[in-house]
Amino acid sequence: MPAALPSNAASAPETRAGERSEPDRVAGADAGGGGNGATRVPNPEVSATAQRRRFTAQYKLDILAAVEAVRGRGEIGALLRREGLFSSHLTRWKAQRRAGGLSALGPRRRGPKAAPPNPLAKRVAELERENRRLERRLAQSEAILVIQKKVSELLGIPLDRPETDGRTS
């Protein structure tokens, strides 16, 4: 006998394959009839993009508990078919449960993980700003020296050569 899942609405997945965002219509409701024996008609609209199914952590735990409670041959397969799941779901969910319990079973963001900020990035930016400032001052000083040399040549003022320490160049 297959194990029964808890019958609370929170344990069901948020979306299932084939479900639409609009609620299903009740047959006969459009025609003015809406009796007690009305059947549900699925919404025939197909969305342009497929929606990935998302399962709550509680639903995953309920399914894992139901799988562990199953004893008969072929009952796990029947449970998976009834719930629309694959054995890979069970494998992944068991590994997540071993890794960290309920929090590990929760949804994760897809895509590349954001790199943690470099603790030295602020210092590097500060040093680069200082380097640019000093380069501007150096260029200004070199321009002033060039002008001073030209003025001394025009006025005939000899420039003092730096004293050497005995070496010839």
Q: Do 78 and 136 fall within a single domain? A: no
For residue range 31-76, list pLDDT tens digits in order. 444 455 567 777 777 777 878 888 888 888 899 999 989 888 889 9
Element holding 41 (H helix, E strand): strand 40-41
Q: Which residue has the tokens 């929606």?
A: 51
**Structural domain containing residue 156:** 121-160
Q: Do 102 and 126 fall within a single domain? A: no
Domains of the chain: total: 2
**Does this model's pTM top 0.75?**
no
Q: Do 79 and 56 fall within a single domain? A: yes
Task: Check the CA dihedral 41-44-48-52 and report its sign.
Answer: positive
Residue 169 within a domain: no
Contact 11, 69 (CB under 8 A): no
Residue 2 within a domain: yes
Q: Do 4 and 71 fall within a single domain? A: yes
